[in-house]
Amino acid sequence: MVYSFNKSGSGYILKIEGDLDLYSSYNLKEDVKKVFLSDPDNILVDLSGLNYIDSAGIGFLIDIKKSTIQHNKKCEFKNIPADILRMFRSIRVDTILEIK
């Protein structure tokens, strides 16, 4: 998995590419905490390059959403590949995440 943070006018853009699984979500979670705790702001998560996600990866996305809500910030998810979006809808994750 490859990811990048970019500061934009309204917050951060987190772009995730590759597989978001148990191992990679743990490492990414630590980096997101460092960035977000140092400068809590809105987050836009771009999943256009996501190939695979498991339950730990889904849990990670939900954790990001919860953290931003706790800090009265906004978190949106965009460019979700069609097959992953279908899976999100089938398990009702789309009702938790704000999908753009």
Q: What is the pLDDT of residues 1-44, one digit of tens each?
A: 999 989 888 789 999 999 999 999 988 988 888 877 677 789 99
Q: Are 15 and 48 in contact (CB under 8 A)?
A: yes
> 99 — phi, psi (to 5°)?
-95, 130
pLDDT in tens, 44-59: 999 999 999 999 999 9
Domains recognised in the chain with CATH numbers: 2-95 (3.30.750.24)
Query: Which of 25, 87, 15, 19 shows the shortest CA–CA distance to 56?
Result: 25
Backbone angles phi, psi at 3, to 5 degrees: -145, 155
- pTM value > 0.75: yes
Sign of CA dihedral 21, 18, 38, 60: negative
The residue behind tokens 């771009």 is 46
